[in-house]
Chains A and B, each alone.
Chain A
Amino acid sequence: MRQVGIVGVGHTRFGKWSGGTFMDMLCAAAVEALDDAGVKLREGHGIDQVFVASMGSGMVNRQSGVASALVDSLNLRPAMAETIENGPASGASAVKLGYMAIASGLCDAVLVVGGEMMRVISGWEGTDFVATMLHTEGEYNYGLTLPAFAGMFTRLCMEKYGVTEKDLSIVSVKNHENAMHNPVAHIRLVPSLYAIAEDEDANVINPYVADPLRMYHVCPVSDGAAAVLLCAMDVKDRFLKKPVKIAGIGQATDTHAVAEREIPTDLLAVRVAAERAYKMAGVTAKDIDVAELHDAFQILEIVESEEVGFFPRGEGHLAARLGDTKIGGRIPINTSGGLKAKGHPLGATGVSQIVELVRQLRGEAEGRQVQGAKVGLAVNFGGFGNNVVATILTNQEED
């Protein structure tokens, strides 16, 4: 099997896209990644395949066949093109498919772009759209939403492990602090831990969304796009940048209806996806220097940090209290600001996580750099954990 690396990254500022159409947004990220890799956009560009990750382009933006449109817009014809939908894990799924296309020998270079433009619809419509990934008869028809499941999951973790609302706020503040050093992050402010967790007016400053989850424990609704250019390691000399190697990929699924899970505080698919990625990469949790975990809700960063093996079960919140997950701590998590502060344009998120790891492993994460980072882990979480993709990157080359 051929080795695969990443030679180009691009990323729009997350938040409210004001640079034109949905397609303009995808193009902006794509062109940045191609420029980063030194690809000349003319005949003989060498891009064999384009994957576009988007959960809602058809429902939200009334646009289907997005990958075909992007290929034409960038004049990358006759490259192959597919649009990938796997809920909020669409981005990492598209990167995985890009890896497979190259590893199999079908392609030498694959452009992967993830994007979502959600700010064109109301909050009500957006909440409804995201909830369509839940089980239709057993969940969605009840009015259940992703925040609802996160609220119920958080309550169980509080009961079982002693997680507190303040712990969720500690994780949130840490991610907001990191985002201040990320120029593409959506939210550029750092809330006061006292104000959102302890002040007598905290109920007003930080109101409940799905109790016990409050506003600062939940990611914002964002527009945005991110792109990566993958290539076979045996053709890396065609590109400007030294490749960051994709060392391992793991993916796993779990029950669609959350209530059917044997242990409701388990994120089984996270654990299995990470185990598979570690095995493929030949590393363990101890080898990871930096991680991007899917913190759509702050409880997820805590529990995922346990499921991927950074901390024992039930101790993720204790590690966050000690500052172990800060930059400079034992294992820095969400140096980009995470979904909480960098933002969460669904289809873009998995690609964006990979972009952050590439920046870290290249030593380009100015202001938030993890010194000497060699191996990074990304976890992209679909549904309420029913489809999870883990990806491991390294800047260490081997023969």
Chain B
Amino acid sequence: METKMFAYKCDNCGELHHPKHYVCRKCGCRDFVEVPLEGEVILLTYTKVYNLPEGYMKPFMAFGIVRFENGLTVSGQIECEELHIGMKLRTTVGVIKEGVGKDYYGFIFKGI
């Protein structure tokens, strides 16, 4: 079970990336080191989706784009009743999709 998600820090210039890129967007370097992405985030925008794709047996799910303290912005699932832009959430890592013989792990942001 995976418990951590990472940013990918350019080994040459330090630029942070997520998701992973093959080449650094700033300097073109191809080497990265993993930096854990955790802690509090700021909710930038969100939605509740009522027509989910195949494989999600729920009436709706919430998704958002958040910003970490290091400035990186990522998408993820949200488990929190009341949402508003600018609120703080905490980062957790959990199963985001149940696959056949393999579960997928990713960000699930929760209320504080």
Q: What is the interface of chain A, defined by CB distance below 8 A to chain B?
A: 122-125, 127-128, 131, 135, 137-139, 141-145, 147-148, 151-153, 155-156, 159, 207-213, 257-260, 264
Contact = CB atoms under 8 A, between A and B. Distances in A.
Contacts, number: 106
A260 B68 CA distance: 12
Contact of A143 (B18, B20, B61): B61
Most buried by A among B63, B85, B104: B63
Nearest to B99: A141
B19 A143 contact: no
A156 B55 contact: no
B77 interface: yes
A211 B48 CA distance: 5
A125 B54 contact: yes
17 contacts: A123-B51, A124-B53, A125-B54, A127-B52, A142-B77, A142-B106, A143-B55, A144-B63, A147-B49, A148-B47, A152-B65, A156-B85, A209-B49, A210-B50, A257-B74, A259-B74, A264-B45
B-side binding surface: helix, strand, loop or mixed?
strand
Interface in B42-82: 44-56, 61, 63-65, 73-77
B53 A155 contact: no
B35 interface: no
Most buried by B among A122, A125, A127: A127
B50 A208 contact: yes
Contact of B106 (A141, A153, A155, A259): A141
Contacts of B45: 152-153, 155-156, 159, 264
A259 B47 contact: no
A208 B56 CA distance: 18
A139 to B, nearest CB: 6
Given A259-B73, A260-B73, A152 B46 contact: yes
B75 A138 contact: yes
B87 interface: no
B75 A209 contact: no
B82 to A, nearest CB: 14
A32 B31 CA distance: 54
Given A139-B75, A210-B47, A159 B54 contact: no
B53 A210 contact: no
B97 interface: yes
A156 B45 CA distance: 6
B96 interface: yes
A21 B104 CA distance: 37
Given A124-B54, A257-B19, 5 more contacts: A143-B56, A155-B45, A209-B49, A212-B47, A257-B74
Contact of A145 (B46, B49, B97, B107): B49
Nearest to A154: B47
Contacts of B61: 143
Contacts of B96: 141-143
Most buried by A among B45, B55, B56, B106: B45
B64 to A, nearest CB: 7
Contacts of B55: 128, 143
Contacts of B85: 155-156, 159
Most buried by B among A137, A153, A210: A210
A209 B19 CA distance: 27
A127 B53 contact: yes
B33 to A, nearest CB: 18
Nearest to A141: B104
Contacts of A211: 47-48, 50
